[in-house]
Amino acid sequence: MTYPTVSVNGVCVRVDNDGRYSLNDLHAAAVANGEATESQRPSVFLRSAQVKRFIKALQAKALKSASEQNQPLKVTKGGDESGVWGVEILAIRYASWIKPELEIEVYEVFRTVVRLGISAMSRLNKIDHIINTETKAISSCASQMAKWGSGGRKQLLHTARERAAKEVQLYLPGV
């Protein structure tokens, strides 16, 4: 599945392949808008005792599924996806830790993405319905055409017509 990349304060916030948001990008968005300082980097956020308890609770819930996709936090050093990556609820928690107004903005951006996704899914379902309906209609027509073609109903009707024409000639010669 492809996850959206969202924009907060005009800064593109990356999303990894497992749907986790880059907290480093959220920090950059907050700094760009004058809402955060360097002392509010994700690494500092992760050191907070309250945040550690929150993450532990999220991880406990994720343990029900051993899938990497369900892990709420990923810290990567080096590479294309270096930084701190968190699930949506952790990203919102980080935004609230920086500033309440940023939390509201991030929440609204995420909610808009979900709404747009639902709207797109609705359009996709409608298109699928049209395709299925028209496929059934075309299939029915194709079936009728196959019955009509050589050796089918067309030949039967032409044979019946020829007999009827001969019968007409028999009873009404010259017509």
Domain residue extents for the chain:
6-120, 124-171
pTM of the entire predicted model = 0.67
Helix axes 100-148, 88-98, angle to 10 degrees: 150
d(CA 85, CA 79): 13
What does the mean pLDDT of the chain come to? 86
pLDDT for res 1: 43
For the ranges 73-77, 140-144, 170-174, the lowest mean pLDDT is seen at 170-174
Specify the pLDDT at position 65: 63
Strand partners, 85: 22, 74
The pLDDT tens digits for 92-145 are 999 999 999 999 999 999 998 888 888 888 888 888 888 888 988 998 888 888
Alpha-helical runs (H) found in the chain: 23-32, 42-47, 49-62, 88-98, 100-148, 153-171
Distance CA(51)–CA(106), nearest Å, equals: 18
At 69 the pLDDT is: 54
Residue 26 — pLDDT band, cuts 50, 70, 90? Answer: very high
